[in-house]
């Protein structure tokens, strides 16, 4: 079932403003992107109809086992960022998610800021053992299910 292609199996889009908590004395702090990636992953699961709190209640989770980021342009305070989170690969027990960050310019264009990727393993929480991906995810890879694509969703920083 290992699948990887250029077309995502599912994706979700969010828009938000860079806040002071995301900054260092100069620009965006690189750790803000990992927090945004986490929020993107949670939003994607919710879009797929399986929010993480439901998976936790069922005894499962998706810990990150690999994460990478490439940066092209800095983000600045009060700029609007669009995050597109895409499910790009399913393995037997893991999935790969891509995160594209872009600045929303005044003219409506998007300037790429960064791209990240994370690998999550579907894990039984009590035993911490990897478990085969659930049927609802396997159905995406097999083309038996068409995942919704979420429209931009406002997300506020606290």
The enclosing domain of 54 has a CATH number of 3.10.129.10
Q: What is the pLDDT of residue 36?
A: 96
pLDDT of residue 4 exceeding 70, the answer is no
Answer with the residue of higher pLDDT: 27 or 85. Answer: 85
Number of folded domains that form the chain: 1
The answer to the question of residue 154 being in a domain is no
The answer to the question of residue 68 being in a domain is yes
The answer to the question of residue 150 being in a domain is no
The answer to the question of residue 14 being in a domain is yes
pLDDT-based confidence at residue 113 (cuts at 50, 70, 90): very high
Structural domain boundaries, residue 102: 10-142
* Mean pLDDT, all residues of the chain: 88
Alpha-carbon distance of 19 to 76, in angstroms, equals 9
- pLDDT tens digits, residue range 11-68? 999 999 999 999 888 888 899 999 999 999 999 999 999 999 999 999 999 999 999 9
The answer to the question of residue 65 being in a domain is yes
> Per the structure block, which two tokens stand in for 4?
């990887």
DSSP string, 60-106: EE--EEEEEEEE-S---TT-EEEEEEEEEEE-SSEEEEEEEEEEE-T
H or E element: which one contains 11? Answer: strand 10-17
> Per the structure block, which two tokens stand in for 28?
């965006």
């Amino acid at each position: 079932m290992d699948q990887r292609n250029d077309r995502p199996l599912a994706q979700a889009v969010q828009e938000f403003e860079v806040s002071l908590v995301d900054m260092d004395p100069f620009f965006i702090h690189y750790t803000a992107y990992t927090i945004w990636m986490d929020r993107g992953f949670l939003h994607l699961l919710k879009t797929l109809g399986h929010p993480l709190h439901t998976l936790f209640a069922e005894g499962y989770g998706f810990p990150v086992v690999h994460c990478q980021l490439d940066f092209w342009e800095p983000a600045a305070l009060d700029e609007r960022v669009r995050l597109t989170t895409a499910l790009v690969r399913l393995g037997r027990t893991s999935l790969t998610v891509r995160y594209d960050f872009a600045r929303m310019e005044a003219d409506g264009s998007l300037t790429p800021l960064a791209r990240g990727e994370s690998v999550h393993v579907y894990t039984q929480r009590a035993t911490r053992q990897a478990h085969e991906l659930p049927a609802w995810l396997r159905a995406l890879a097999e083309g038996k299910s068409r995942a919704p694509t979420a429209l931009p969703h406002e997300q506020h920083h606290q």
